[in-house]
Every structure is written in structure tokens, then in C-alpha cells.
Chains A and B, each alone.
Chain A
Amino acid sequence: MKFLQFFRTKGVNNVIYPILSILLGMLGAGIIIAFFGVNPFTAYKELVKGSFGSIYGLSATLQRFMPLAFAGLAATLAFRGGIFNIGIEGQLYMGALFSTWVGISFEKLPAIIHIPLALLAGGIAGGIWAFIPGYLKAKKGFNEILVSIFMNFIGVYTLGAALNTFLRAPGQGIPWSSEIVESARLPQLPGSDLSIGIFMIFIFAFTIQYIFKHRTFGYEIKAVGYNKDASIYGGINTTKVIIVTMVLSGFIGSFAGSVEILGMQHRLTENFLVDYGYNAIPVALLGGLNPFGTLVAAFFFAALINGASSMQIALGVPVAIVKVIMALAILGSLGMHGLQKTVESRRKRRDEQL
């Protein structure tokens, strides 16, 4: 996937690019907001107030940030290996399903065992969900995008089926699960309703960065992502690398679901997180396919999602404007990368001539 290389950033650009892109996106979306008869500046003021204006707002933004960050990191990892993992939606649904199952099942377990067990169950489920498209891509040459999308449908409806049958809270009419038992709930940061899942995000981001920089496996992922033929020539088992990358991506993606349930909602419902798996793709791209850039992009995306509701309540601008902003931000990001490339090659040519 040649276009992926276009989004790659390094160094400070990891932070600058996502922010500038989103600002560009907001600039474009401002015109659309103006068509609603609303002053875009007033609208954005409401949006910013909603997402950062109060402790409550900031906390809500961070809550949206967490699943987006996990999912974004999963997408980034796969992208670097040249894989388009659009199946994170299904992977996080499976993750949530299995960690909920473990989370409501064992009542006498100490938290130190119960929490990792629940997370691991979700991780394995997400990994298996990613393994299937990964295996089919690596071994049989199937298009992973197509297979992942199918797997998303299966994942989402499997969760629905589970909630209507064995996972449904006993004696209740609503298709939701029982509450996660106390020992499986993620501890919350003192004085807030944020779970310690937020630390896991940074652990994952650092680990991914470490693997890319210092491990032979990271070298292999990047090599396969850039040039599969040369990787085979270079002695890399590309089949294995593609499958393992995909499974790891699914494992990380599952945390978007399981941390949401174990750390926040404490009860699984059918539409507990909608479209976060799909939104992982723009988050990863805006983040320059770099783990820390991805976190920056996820944070701003989360702020937009959160602030948009305030904007809708105050001014009647539909929440969907966030999607417009994101789409325009990606175009803006493309434009900036294109500009940067042009400037670089101009400078290079000039240097060569001197």
C-alpha cells in the first residue's frame, strides 16, 4: 500500500502534523458550519469549552481518548507492517465480550489475578479475530480489508447474540450483561473516574516504539510493510511476520473494548462503543503511523467527539460535523505531506546543483 508511506512522520512532526491537520479540517468544516447559519467561531468556542472547559469536560474527553488510543495504536502497528486492519471494530467487540465473560464469571478471585485474566481473555479473542484475516492474507493472498470487514459484522452480531442468550443478565428484559464483579474492575485514578487503563496506553505506545527501534522483529515488520519482495530476499519469513503483526494488532485493539467495559461502563451492552474501530484508521493516519503521533491524534479526535455534543446542544450544529472535520483533516495531512515532499525535493535538487 504505497499511500501509507505518504503519511509517515518523524520527530516533532509527530505532534505538529496531527494538530495542524485537525486545524485545517476545522477550517474547512467551518465553512459548512457557516451554512447552518451559525458563526463557526462561536461553534468552535462551544466545542472547545465542551471538551476542555471544565474538569468534567476534560475527563470526558480522556474517556473518549482511551478506546481511540488503543484502537489507533492497533491500526498503526498493522499499517507499519503494510496491513490495513480495518477489523479493529470486530476485534474490540470480541475483546469486550470475552473480558466481560471472565469479568462476571469468577467471583472469588483476587483482583491481581482476575483483572489480568479478563484482559488476557479479551486480548486472545481479539487476536484470534485478527488472526483469521491475517492468515488468509499471508497464506492465501486474500485481501485483508474485505475479510476484516466481514469479521466485523460477525463480531458485532456475535456480541449481540451473546447478550441475548447466555450473557444476558438473569431476570432482565434488556439485552445487557450483569455487572462486572468488583475484583475484575480496573482501579480508578484517585479523584477521577479514569481507570488505570490510561497507563496501559502509554505502555503499549512505548513498547511498540521500542520494538520498531530496537528489535529485529520491528525491523521485520517495517521491511515487510515497505517491500515484501526485498524482505523475502533478505531472509524474512514474511508469512509469519504478517500473521504475528496482525495478531498483535488485534490483541492491542481488543483493549479498546475490554478497558472500556472493565474500567468504565462495567456492563456490556450491544452498542457500547460504536465506530471506534473504524475511527482508528484516520487516527493512525493523522498520527503519522507513529505510536506517539497516534496518541496525539487520538486525543484531539476524542476532544472533537466530546465537544461536538456540547456544540450540538448549544447551537444545533450536528455532531456529524466531527466526521467532516476528520475527513478534511486527512486531506489536509495529505496536502501537508505533499508540500513537504515537494519542498524537500526542491531543496535537494538545489543542493545537488550547487
Chain B
Amino acid sequence: MKKLDVIGLRKSFGNVIANDSVNFDVYDGEVHAILGENGAGKTTLMKCIFGLYPPEVGEIYYEGQKFSSHSVKDSIDKGIGMVHQHFMLVYNMTVLENIMLGLKSERAPFLDKKIVTAKMLDLMNKYQINIDLKQEIRNLSVGAQQRVEILKMLYRKSSLLILDEPTAVLTPQEIEELFVFIRQYTGQGNSVVLITHKLDEILEIADRITVMRLGKNVGTFARKDIKDKNELAAKMVGEKIELSILHSKNKQNNPIPAISIKNLVVKDNRGLKAVDNVTFDMFEGEILGVAGVSGNGQTELAEALAGLRRPDSGNIYLAAEDVSKLNPRGIQNKNIRYIPEDRHKYGLILNFSVKDNLLLGRYYAEPYSTNGKLNHTNNDLYAEKKIKEFNVMTPNSKERVEHLSGGNQQKLILARELASQPNVLIATQPTRGLDVAAAKFIQRSILKQRDAGTAVLYVSTELEEIFEMSDRIMVLYKGNIAGIFDISLANIQEIGLLMAGHKMGTND
């Protein structure tokens, strides 16, 4: 029986049509995955179903009942629950208080903590989810926070759960736990809509798959009709793309490290040790992938190498010279380049033109300027060249960067950072939030740079991406190196376990 039925839904923002005559349905007891590139309209569709946006045209039926009004309260009352990509939790309230938030107390005007606690314990027993109800949200891991979000919806008797990119923040083990829950939940006749980019997960858990492209439903397929990942990816981007391994292991075996990190300790903004006594080498012409769940010291390590964060102790040697105390410009002068995680905050000045952004971190040196005077003729040529070389889609070099798409913004950063053929490149999450085509372009460019001899530190929280890109893989857990593996010896399960904090003998 159909649990949810969406017919001919249309939703636009200004002149941008986010959803165009979308038909979509979910059956009882099924896991329905929605696949699509960024901006394909997945989240908009879900927000319409959840009542956050009213659709312009089209009808939504839930268990045979037509939606008359569109409000979140209405949707929740009907039994639809949504777990957003960014959690909607109050961080300094306890789990229990978060569950109760927005619900009418049975003992009004007093709180009904005891009643809710009892009901919650039942619920947690039923689904074997363990969580301390008295704990404040900010003390919980991201995975636990997600479980709170799910519990919140279960407590509201949701029979359809919409999960928006639920696995992006989880370790492989937590993902497995989530999938166990999903199977149990749908086994009782409930349904799950799963939004994700990750093809493997879709193949593992989904019963049906809807592919969206440019706001339209391109097709809904049964899992059994899909052969493999490549077929799925092709459906998503609308053309045949080569998914697996751009990576071709660089055979060059250089015993001289390009950069050596010795006993590095870096503190985070709260003054806690984020990188704790880390020692490793990076070699010329190799990509050292850094695997780890986000928040395990990757950002701090990268920032220390880029000169943005002064290490507490330890050294960074570039050809026998300690560069650990240099400021960003000093690091840039050593030709160490950095692709920051947050491109809007660090990587770009959104109000600057394409050309001016290409000068960031370079403007002060020849040939970009001479004695403090900018060399506009040279810089215009440089900008034109980079735009062409990296295929940046912009009307011209004077266009403000804020008007560019995410992929083109990232290409711009890459073009700038690779312009000097760096000795060392630190790339943190360089493909985050990009569509497949742009991500592949970025990855190919970095591989090309590696082949030209650059030592690359490649930080990503996507294990699949780490395996695609790396020559060696380093796992960070709580600021420590949990292990460094050659790609030929690495195994995804083992690395997943290390990321989650399981100890084992290192086989370096």
C-alpha cells in the first residue's frame, strides 16, 4: 500500500525551479533512496513533504489522505518525521528536554518528565537504542545526536522517516548501526526516505531508488534492476562517467621526505590538544590520505601546516628547515599551499572578483606586483590563463566570485594554489559539497600535481574518496595517528575500525 504519494509537485524560488512536476511515492515498509547531484531538488522535495515549504502546484497524499494545509505540525501529526542534515537540537538542554520540546505536557502547566522518560525507555528498548536521557546534547557525539533526532521523531509516532544525508557524519560502524535500525523500523511497516550521495549505501539498504536531476524525477528504479554503482552514477549525472579509481599509483620511490612532521602538538580553539604528538613524513610525488571522522584533529593539523595555527610544540621540517613557526605568508614563500576546508570563510573573498581572488596569497610577490604596485597587465593575463586552464565557468575575470557556483569557486582556489607548482599541497575536503563532475575535475587536477612531484596531504571524511586518491593512508583518531598504511595493504574495514577508535597493532 502507498504510504506517501506526491503528484505533479512544483516548487520554485524566484525564477529558479527547484522541483518541476515531480511524482514520487513511498510504499509501506520500504526504504526509498533519493539520489541526485547538489541542487537537483532532493531537499526541496523533502521540505515540501515535511511541510516546510508549500508547493505551488501538485498534491501530496499521506496514507490516502490529502494534505490540505502545509505546515510542519500538520506533517508531524500525520506521522512524517524528518532528520535534517544539520540537527535541530538545543545544545545546552538534555536529551529528554529536547524530546519534550514543542510537545504539550500531559500535566500542564507542569512538565511531564517522568511520563516521557517511561515512554522513552520503552521506545529505546524496542529499537535497542541506548542513550542517557539526562545528558546534555553538547556532550554527545555526532552519532548520538543523530540518534536523539531519530528518537524525537519516533516519540512523535512517525511512520515515515526522512533522513537527509544521515551518514555524512558517521563512522562506518555507526552507519552499520543506523542501517540495522532502519531495517528493524521498516520491518514493522514503517517507511524511510533516504537522501544520500553515497552509492554504496544506496545499493546496500534501498528497496527503490529515485534519481533526481535539475528538479525533475528522472526515474524510479527497483534495487534489483540496478547492476552496480557505475550504472547508478550514470543515472545520476545523466552521462556515462568512470567512477572507480582515477588513481594510478605513482611508482616513483623517493626516500627523501618532502616534509617531516616531528612530535607535533596543536591545540584547538578551546585550548585542548587536537593534534597530540604526531610524527610522520610526506614524500615527493605521493598523496598521503588522512582518514578520520571529522573533528579528530584533521583541521588543526592542516592549519598548523599552513601556518594558520601556531603549533604548541614539535617541528615541521621542510628540507631540514623548521617551518613550524612561520606565518601564512612565510609558509606560502616556502611554496607550501593550502586548500582550506571552508572555502567561503578562508579560501575566497566572495566580494572580490575572480581575478582578485586568484591573487590571494600571491599578490605581494613578483610577477603579480613590483615594489607594492600591482601588475595589472600580468595579472589579467594570469587570470585569463587560469580560467581557461581550469575551465572556470565565469563570464569574465571581473565577475564577483559570489556569483559563481560552488564547483567553479573550488576550481578557482585550486587554480590559485597550484599556480606555483607547490612543493607541498595540503587539501582539506576539497570535493565537499561538489557535484560529481566538479569533484572528479578537482581530484584529477590534484593527481596531476602529484605526478608532477608535489607531496599532497589529502584530508577527507569520505573513506571511499581517501581510497580513490591516496598512495598511503593515515588514520587520525583523537589527534593521534591510529595507523599509516600503504594503499596496497589497506583494507577498508580495518581503517573504519581505526577511525572509530578500535586499537590494533600498527602495521606501518
Chain A residues with a Cβ under 8 A of chain B: 5, 213-217, 219, 222-223, 226-227, 229-237, 345-346, 348-350, 353
CA separation between A226 and B348, bound complex, in Å?
10
Q: Which residues of B contact A232 (CB under 8 A)?
A: 308, 328
Option from B15, B340, B376 in Cβ contact (under 8 Å) with A346:
B15
One digit per residue, 1 when the CB lies within 8 angstroms of any chain A CB and 0 when it does not, for chain B 335-365 equals: 0001010000111111110001001110110
Residue B440 CB within 8 A of the other chain: no
With an 8 A cutoff between CB atoms, is B16 at the interface? yes
The B interface is mostly helix, strand or loop, or mixed, namely loop
Indicate if the CB atoms of A219 and B356 lie closer than 8 Å. Answer: yes
Residues of B close to A5: CB separation below 8 A: 351
Chain A residues near B328 (CB-CB < 8 A): 232-235
Known: A222-B352, A229-B345, A349-B15. A216 touches B329 (CB 8 A): no
CB contacts between A and B, total, < 8 Å: 77
Per a CB cutoff under 8 Å, which of A215, A230, A345 touches B346?
Answer: A230
8 CB contacts below 8 A, A to B, read A215-B372, A216-B364, A217-B372, A219-B363, A230-B348, A235-B328, A235-B364, A350-B15
Q: Is the CB of A219 within 8 A of B349?
A: no
Partner of A349, one of B16, B346, B352: B16
Chain B residues positioned under 8 Å from A217 (CB to CB): 372
CB-contact partner of A234 in B361, B372, B373, B374, under 8 A: B361
CA distance A68 to B421 in the complex (A): 50
A227 and B350 contact, Cβ closer than 8 Å, known pairs A214-B374, A214-B376, A234-B328: yes
Chain A contacts for B374, CB-based, 8 A? 213-216, 219
CB neighbors of A among B361-410 (8 A):
361, 363-364, 369, 372-374, 376, 403
Q: What string of 1s and 0s marks CB contacts (under 8 Å) between B1-43 and chain A?
A: 0000000000000111000000000000000000000000000
- Asked whether A233 lies within 8 Å of B360 as measured between CB atoms, the reply is yes
Q: Decide: A230 and B14 in contact? CB cutoff 8 A.
A: no
Q: Which residue of the partner chain A has the closest CB to B303?
A: A233
Once bound together, how far apart are the Cα atoms of A231 and B352, in whole Å? 12
Interface SS, A side: helix
Residues of A within 8 A of B327 (CB): 235, 237
In the docked arrangement, what's the CA distance between A237 and B326, Å?
A: 13
Closest partner residue, chain B, to A5 (CB atom): B351
| CB atoms of A233 and B340 under 8 A apart | yes
Complex alpha-carbon distance, A280 and B457, angstroms = 50
Residue of A nearest to B330 (CB): A235
Given A215-B374, A349-B14, residue A234 in contact with residue B360 (CB < 8 A): yes
Partner of A226, one of B15, B329, B349, B373: B349
Contact B369 A216 (CB under 8 A): yes
| B360 with A223: CB separation less than 8 A | yes
**Complex CA distance for A77 and B340, rounded to whole angstroms:** 30
- Name the 9 nearest CB pairs between A and B, nearest first: A235-B329, A234-B360, A349-B15, A234-B361, A233-B346, A226-B351, A227-B349, A235-B328, A226-B349
B332 interface hit (Cβ, 8 Å): yes
Q: Provide the bound-state CA to CA distance between A214 and B348, in Å.
A: 20
CB distance from B332 to the nearest CB of A (A): 5
In the complex, the answer to whether B403 meets A348 with C-beta atoms within 8 Å is: yes
The answer to whether A233 and B338 have CB atoms under 8 Å apart is: yes
**Neighbouring A residues of B403 by C-beta, 8 Å:** 348
Are A219 and B359 touching (Cβ within 8 A)? Answer: yes
State whether B349 touches A216 (Cβ < 8 A).
Answer: no
With A214-B374, A233-B340, A349-B14 known to touch, is A226 a contact of B360 (CB < 8 Å)?
no
Chain B contacts of A353 at CB under 8 A? 15
Q: Which residues of B are found within 8 Å of A350, using beta-carbon distances?
A: 15
Chain A's nearest CB lies how many Å from the CB of B427? 14
Mark out the residues of chain B between 24 and 70 whose CB falls within 8 Å of any chain A CB in the assembled complex: none
Closest Cβ–Cβ distance, residue A105 to chain B (whole Å): 36
In the complex, what residues of A have CB within 8 A of residue B348's CB?
227, 230
**Chain A residues with CB under 8 A of B349:** 223, 226-227, 230-231, 234
